[in-house]
Amino acid sequence: MNQAKRSLAFLLTVYRILPCLCGKNYEKIASFTPEKVVCICFFSFFACCGRVEKSAASPQRKQQRNFDMQPLTLKIDESTAGRAVKSLLRHELAASNAHISRLKRRENGILLNGKPCYVTARVQAGDELQMEIGDEPDGHIVPMSFPLDVRFEDEYLLIIDKAAGIAVHQSTRNPEELTLENAVCAYLGGSISPHPVSRLDRGTSGLILFAKSGYLHERLRRMQHTGAYLRTYQGIAVGKVEPPSGKIERPIGLAEGSTYRRAVTEGGAPALTEYRTLAGSERLTLLELLPRTGKTHQLRVHMASVGYPLAGDWLYGERNDALIARPALHSCSLELTHPITGERIALVSDLPEDMRALTQDMILMEEDQQDGNESD
């Protein structure tokens, strides 16, 4: 069969190449010397062989997807019998329309009783529906290695303790910059693009969650700011925060005339932050910050809007490298219910050294203040 394909491809290639070489001047073809015809035939033969071999290899490569994750399986009982496959994927397996569209383009993306099926197919009791949840290699993130502080990993999720000063995403302003995405991509083998579930600013340190597929990323994003997914931060604000605990509910949008800076604006998106004081002095306050929504720069904007910007926040407060060379914000706690196993994961990250130094200064300030009050 392959020999017949090669012969046919050879004839077609000669038929296509000859007119191209002589500008579709067919009289010129008749004047070709035997040596020239032989050269053309050799060229055509190797070209068509390469094309046939590539075509023959394509199905094999298509099956060599980097799916490390086992597909999700749904066993059909009387309560789900009679429903369409798409309905089950959406409501029982929590697949988005985007994920279903991707699966429809895969050979074994959706299987009913071990065979590919249409999403309009109806199921019966006793059937078994399978759905792939892994990603195909896409290569749009360049793998670049550097050491990572991995706090949790399984075949679905990866949690990193990020150092301050590293961007999570590549920026159009600096596309060659090494980012956490590049490092995680290299850590995962270089073929799968990681999906950060929650963003941390370049200057923010602490725990960040990566999903190992787009399907898991979509599920986790829907879980954010619910009891199934909680993030807690610690921040150091300038001044003595009053009241010591409370809520900041102010809408956030782009600042006027800026494409990057945010501000509390009347037409902004709803945003809610809860806070409470952990320690403090007259000059600095250590806060626990709980974002109930996930707007860009939310914690930094909200604290600045009530008159207590974070220490070192050059964008929403004042730059003070002598105090701390970045916004004093740390993702200290992450709790979530695993979207596949149902396991409860709870991790804690200690304050980094630069923020610990500020808390020590805070204690010394408080002691000095108490000594001053006693002497009075």
**Which amino acids are annotated catalytic?**
201
Buried b (16+ CB within 10 A) or exposed e, 299-326: bbbbbbbbebbbbbbebbbeeeeebbeb
Buried b (16+ CB within 10 A) or exposed e, 234-246: bbbbbbebeeeee
CB atoms within 10 A of CB 150: 12
